[in-house]
Structure 1
């Protein structure tokens, strides 16, 4: 990033962080109103869920772009660079553009800050302000359609200040219980709050109680409900070099043997959801998507930090699994898509996550754990995480070592993997840790 873009990021970091969201929409709406409601100048596909939000968002955006639409994409958190969170036409927003848009919105952000403080409330948070910046940037571009990933929850998430024509739900499970609720039903109820009157609702396979909440909210809003397994489905997926071949029964047509350059059965499901969402946007779900642009969009989709190769000889992957459900998908993908028999997991976890659950899920296939921490004030200290891993892994005899520095954890894991056949290193537990690992691997030249 240039100094101007870095200055924007530092200004955002000076606000209340993403780990402490406010259950409110009015401050975000107030800034947007002062700015002339930029979020109303383009249609929005909004994506909520527990796992798969970012991948589904990125696949959806890639398909839309392949049909000639100018796209905006808002995701979080970022993998390496802050500007990844706001993408225009498939590329992180230009440093000059984000600096200029920040200068445009700042007086109005400060005006609302002052109003909030006068009322005895906290000023706009990091994520509230970032959401405003994204909407303003999309309007400035301008874009034909924006794909917007919910930050946390749904009903009171700042992205919900916009009225999305299409609400998409990836699988909902247990995460952020302190903020969202102690059961899947409660969490799903909060996430279903993104459904707007008369909208289209597209959902991945869900636990029964989660689906009930989505169906309830859709019914109250007189929304059109499009369910995986009913209105559309992933019919088949086969392992291919660099990814998989998927066959999807969509809302309006069938799409055979699309090449998806992402690993994991869950990514095939994410792609099927993305296709149904795009069918709903282009042609209202009644017209099949043209095969060539669809194939092009699926075939170039990327999802940084999701089973991403960052090193060879030995193989090193990063995966953003940050809860037990994500760890289950990771374990399944490693068994199906990679020819390895021993795994060293380099793990760092944020404090609001179920670290024990993640480690217990990985433990059956783990040869060793290298425990460390991402560079975040929300991280579980490496010493504490090591104690958790030893308690979990001790049942199965998994070796667990702690490292203050990620670089040392990676170097030792890489040395171990290079000393044997069919060994692999997997960095997981946090997208922040994955980004740091990818940057270090790039500096070291681990991937030709």
Structure 2
């Protein structure tokens, strides 16, 4: 009957008759309520444990973010102060500059990871899909991590099959491989080995990154690809990072229709990560090798586009150090530079000096870059209303770029910017000014 009853039995009548009265009471509804209450209590207990875990992970993550962002800042500020002292040799100054650059790039990578996670959570990360040769992607990633591997005494070995072509975003796929390689190098001790294997398997391309490093304990392996999770989250941990890299790897691989998995026999027995991405059905065009994630542009001679010579550029930024650095960079390329610390000052300079290109920060006290451009675009053409403008800003999400372009900026460049990239962007806008003047 699938029902619950309470049964009461009592003697009825004279004892010699041996009669019993039975009363059945239907308590099915009460039992159902009790069962629901027990289920709700179990769910509430699980939710409370989950919330407590989330709170603990959040607190650990925020502490880690603070530590990881402050650590490179310590080196940057310390060596910058050392450069101000007299008596440093040329070798010491070179070492100071290299250290500042290395730590700045490390901090920039941390910020990029945070922005990627934010875009993934908001569902706003987009792929620029094209045909991609996985071998070329892996070779480029290997060249990027090779200096770090050599510095740590870790050997890199690669077996790369040819003809492994997929449809995907080359930059994001290279980010996947670079994350796995850099992670393997970081957790592999000196004289260890990191191996990369690329091969076609059935209808997929398989990328395997295996190392002889620290390994992963069995109880943590199910959590390897979770955001903000680290096997060692203590303040005494030996390896840095935010615990975001592998989470980003999983999200990017799944966006390409693939899978990623991990295997480790345990602590100090190495780990192996396997990425599988579907093969491209057809090859649409010849594939060009993608650029590496990191260009060592600062180590090359500064190449000035000829279009910059004699160009008048107005730089607007409330940070004095940024203004002066950009001004010095552009002056080395023959640019006539004007500097402004606010939107109001910029409008006065535009009226008096009539620059050819505007480079403006977005986040400024008082009036921001959007307010500046709104007022600029209301001016007549002869007063600078059509002045080409570049948004150079630390607001680097895809929606920030869209907002800047909709506001009237001709281009959006995220901080920290590579000098060669900024020079190229400004040079690309010079034709607008020359066309207007003619």
Same fold (TM > 0.5): no
Q: Structure 1 length as normaliser, TM-score? A: 0.28
Q: RCO greater where, 1 or 2, for CA within 8 Å and sep 6 or more? A: 1
Q: Which structure has the larger Rg over C-alpha atoms?
A: 2
